Amino acid sequence: MPNLPVLDIAGFLEDPSGAAASRFVRELIDTCTGTGFCYLTGHGIDPALEREAMAVAEAFFSLPEPERLSIVNTNTPHFRGYTRLGMEHTNGKRDWREQIDVGPERDAIPQRPGDPPWLRLRGPNQWPEAVPRMRPAITSWMSAMAELGEAVLRALAVGLGQAPDHFAPVVTPDPEVLVKIIRYPAQAAGEQAHQGLGLHQDSGLLSFILQDSTGGLQVESGGTLLDATPIPGSYVLNLGEMLQVATHGVLRATRHRVVSAPSGNGRISLAYFFNPCMESKLEPIELPDALRATATGGQNANPDDPIFSVYGENWLKFRLRSHPDVAQKHHADLLGS
């Protein structure tokens, strides 16, 4: 039996006013005020899209290192492209994974005096010439995932006593989505000198994880860590810090990590982060009395890790501390501020 709830969104997608949709909304709110993680089924994402996205990930990670490094993320100030093994950090420690970061395809914005520093994050992606299928495969999958993200936000809004389109202004017209194409190499049990991915919370609104069959994702719950064992046909869904702030802590951004497989080829996963527009500010939500009574406060317990209400500030904070090599090369003037 799975350690996390399994929620079927199909009824909500088919008829948002029907009985199945109402049941899904109740289950979603129960989950998001509890463990904060679930498996999402009935999502309607074409399995062929998922297979192709996974296939291009495997093709890229099979390339010789010089070809992978042709799109290394230190090439640009936008934190896009390939992160070498061990070069991303969580809680100040190296994560034993390699990945490609892909965001909205935009031109870079020339900086002017007084511009918010998070505007530096906007810019084009880097795509590997050796895997020409990657760009169409990943962008097609991203488009499908955006529709799913919007649907889950509508369900959350209804469950919080708001109009279905309550969150639409913060993701319109250009949500700051992010895809991470990730490989976690195996590490023998006696050599666990590195964390696969350290315990952390996500920064935005919603996170969707497409896993292979390897496993390794763990969710913190009640002082223990629960295995999010892969379930074929599902996404693992969790919430980010912006929803925690907006709901006064009624919805929680739950900490989670990835443990490396002890042997084999390692783990490949695709993470899709449905985030607000960077200029968006999530205002506190007026919650129904029953939910307001469960509010614990939206800020993190660690005073050195504040959650900013303007998403661009929150996103820049995450990027600078997670990728110190890019930060030092392109954003040294922001470090320590």
pLDDT tens for each residue of 182-213: 999 998 766 556 899 999 999 899 999 999 99
Tokens of residue 94, six digits: 């190296």
| Angle in degrees, CA 67, 327, 74, rounded to 5 | 15
179 within some domain: yes
139 within some domain: yes
pLDDT tens for each residue of 151-189: 999 999 999 999 999 999 999 998 999 999 999 999 876
9 within some domain: no
What per-residue confidence (pLDDT) applies to 251? 94
10 within some domain: no
pLDDT tens for each residue of 66-106: 999 999 999 999 999 999 999 999 988 999 999 999 999 99
- Whether 220 has a pLDDT exceeding 90, the answer reads yes
306 within some domain: yes
The domain of 153 spans 46-334
Tokens of residue 312, six digits: 């661009």
* Mean of the per-residue pLDDT values of the chain: 93
Residue 302's pLDDT band (cuts 50, 70, 90):
low
In CATH, what number is assigned to the domain containing residue 293?
2.60.120.330
What per-residue confidence (pLDDT) applies to 193? 60
- Whether 277 has a pLDDT exceeding 80, the answer reads yes
What per-residue confidence (pLDDT) applies to 103? 97
What per-residue confidence (pLDDT) applies to 106? 94
37 within some domain: no
128 within some domain: yes
25 within some domain: no
Beta-sheet pairing, 37-41 with 6-8: parallel
| Angle in degrees, CA 34, 38, 43, rounded to 5 | 140
Instruction: Give percent of the chain above pLDDT 70.
Output: 96
| Angle in degrees, CA 104, 105, 109, rounded to 5 | 95
Domains in the chain: how many in total? 1
Backbone torsion region of residue 185, taken as left when φ is above 0, otherwise alpha when ψ lies between -120 and 50, otherwise beta: beta
